[in-house]
Structure 1
Amino acid sequence: MIFITLGSQKFPMDRLLIEVDRLVEIGGINEEVFAQTGYCQYKPSHYESCQFLGRVEFDDTIERCDLLITHGGSGAIMSGLKQQKRVIAVPRLKAFGEHVDDHQKELVGVLAEKGYLIMVEDVSKLPGSIEQAKASHFKVYESSTDRVVRIIRDFIDE
């Protein structure tokens, strides 16, 4: 299942939902798709969606998905990486009125360079990026908290 999440920012990001709807309609995406649309105006016709999920539902949906397609918010990205999911991040861009600046592009760019995810700015490139994500072996994300806990456990076990 492909899970799309667009966060809770009060800015629409319809371009991603529209492109995925088009791809599902023409058979470019054959998997089940579910989206948390946030404050988007567009309502998908060819896959299920809801405006918001509760925290438990959100985490469960990420756990069940094979691929997470998310906006460039750090919370959604980290939720996917911590569960070792394949992540495609589409940063919200100021040019499209999706945010006040391009900080998401900067964050996603760094994570993509380090091999944690795939960054897509132009949603028309999504089909190739989905195939790339399915074939890629991403770097495993380890949070600083997890690393500290592991070091302490190793020290205690010695």
Structure 2
Amino acid sequence: MIFITLGSQKFQFDRLLKEIDKLVVAKKLNDEIFAQVGYSTYKPKHYQYKAFLDREEFAKCEGKADIVITHGGTGAIIGAVKKGKKVIAVPRLARYGEHVDDHQTQLIAQFKEQNLICGLDDVRQIEKGLEFVKTHLFNAYQSNTKLIIDSIENFIEGTNK
């Protein structure tokens, strides 16, 4: 299953939803697809969607998914990567009214550089991204939270390990 999640900020990402519809119509994508479309104005015609999901619905959809397609939001990416999902991330771009600036391009580049996700520059690359994630081995996400906490505890205790 492919789960598309576009977050809950007040920005549309119609380009991505339309591209997925095009791939379905062209029979280049025949997986089960479900999208959380957020504030997008385009409503998918060839796969199921809902504007917003509660936590339980979101967890269920993400849990069933083999592949998660998302925007360049840090939370959406890290959440899926932590669960071992293959992630395709495409940045929302300011010139299309999808965000206030293009910071998502840098976020995606950093995750891609760490070999955690398939980062794309444009929605028209989704078909290639889907082919890529089916065979590519990504690095497992490793949180550095424990390292930071240990470092703070060592500092407080004065042991400076």
* TM-score of the pair, normalised by structure 2: 0.89
Give structure 1 stretches of 5+ with no counterpart. Answer: 150-158
Supply the AA of the counterpart residue of 2:78: M
Residue in 1 that maps onto 2:137? 137
What is the distance in 2 between the residues matched to 1:60 and 1:72? Answer: 21
Equivalent AA in structure 2 for residue 95 of structure 1: R
Q: Which amino acid aligns with 1:87?
A: V
Question: Are 2:91 and 2:122, in contact at CA under 8 Å, matched by a contact in 1?
Answer: no
Tell me if structure 2 keeps the 8 A contact 1:12–1:39.
Answer: yes
Counterpart of 1:74 in structure 2 is 74
Query: What is the root-mean-square deviation of aligned Cα atoms in Å?
Result: 1.9
1:31-73 CA-partner distances (Å, limit 9, x unpaired): 0000000000001110000000011211221111000000111
Match of residue 23 from structure 1: 23
Q: How big is each residue's C-alpha offset from its partner over 1:74-93, in whole Å with a ceiling of 9 and x where there is no partner?
A: 11111101101100001111
Give me the whole-angstrom Cα distance separating, in 2, the residues matched to 1:51 and 1:19: 18
Contact 1:59 1:79 survives alignment (8 Å):
no
Name the amino acid aligned to 1:140: A
Give the Å deviation of 1:143: 1.5
Displacement after TM superposition at 1:148 (Å)? 7.0
Matched, 1:64 2:34: no
CA shift digits 1:4-49 (9 cap, x unpaired): 0000111111000000011111211010000000000001110000
3-state SS in 2 of match to 1:132: helix
Q: Matched residues, percent identical?
A: 48
Which structure 2 residue ranges, 5 or more long, are not aligned?
A: 150-161
Partners of 2:62 and 2:125 in 1: CA distance: 23
Instruction: Say how many residue pairs are matched.
Output: 152
1:142 Cα deviation from its structure 2 partner: 1.4
How far has the Cα of 1:119 moved from its partner? 1.0
Counterpart position of 1:46? 46
The TM-score normalised by the length of structure 1 is: 0.90
C-alpha distance after superposition, 1:126-157 (max 9, x if no partner): 111100011100010011236679xxxxxxxx
Distance, in Å, in 2 between the alignment partners of 1:20 and 1:80 is 19
